[in-house]
Structure 1
């Protein structure tokens, strides 16, 4: 089940992030994630099975640029490769398709998972070496938002 984030999820999400360090996130990113949850969160979604948080991912909005950014995606390592990331990402794309104010969806990821977003329809826009931390490069990707109303 996918649901909206609640403040009571915070400690479990920090644990989920830690389970993905150092494979997908640098240790230094934990402080960034805490800051995000406390001050920068806009839309954030939780994937849950049997009351256990299996994955999570957010959206941040930049209305002046008509951009939304997919942010802070993570899946429990025991459940990776089971399609949960795809469901969470598609849920957010569908959520954004209903938003007339968003023309472009971007994701800022790393060399470790950019192929996943490519399969979801994102195109690579730029690469910046050691952006997140040493050995964690920025792969910025984009996708046009196919807003339902705009298409008609």
Structure 2
């Protein structure tokens, strides 16, 4: 397994990962949101490879005041789910965020489908917004003090 920074040449592969997870984990309408993120909002974004094949991706962004690290856009190949690759990439990002001294809080905005995964790291559910991402895809916002977020 290798984790490396995202390169723009990875974009077609990441869009394919998103499509493979649509409609189970993402709405088709989110593809344009991912493209916009990769082109305009990316700060720290990584791909996870196994045997030189991208099987997952995810990143984090910082709030304007640099006090909150926000986990962003986790996507994994459906056949690789449940094999601890998501845990490995999340641990990697938590470690990177803990290295940034200004970060006080780690947060994630996800759906009802993925929020239990993030809760395992000590992130606590703070908000639910029905049909936020798309019809049937609710927003679940979790966060915790950086010192309380665990490496799994």
Q: 1:146 aligns to what?
A: 147
Alpha-carbon shift at residue 143 of structure 1 (Å): 1.9
CA distance in 1, matches of 2:66, 2:139: 21
Answer whether contact 1:63 1:102 (CA < 8 A) is retained.
no
TM-score (normalizing by structure 2): 0.94
Dislocated runs of 4+, deviation >2 Å: none
Q: How many residues align?
A: 147
Gaps of 5+ in 1: 148-152
Deviations 1:64-96 (A, max 9, x none): 161110000011001100001111111000001
Answer whether contact 2:66 2:102 (CA < 8 A) is retained.
no
Q: 1:68 aligns to what?
A: 69
RMSD: 1.2
Answer whether contact 1:109 1:140 (CA < 8 A) is retained.
yes
Deviations 1:21-43 (A, max 9, x none): 00000000000000000001000
Gaps of 5+ in 2: none
CA distance in 1, matches of 2:142, 2:4: 25
Q: 1:3 aligns to what?
A: 4
Alpha-carbon shift at residue 145 of structure 1 (Å): 1.3
Answer whether contact 1:86 1:120 (CA < 8 A) is retained.
no
CA distance in 2, matches of 1:94, 1:52: 23
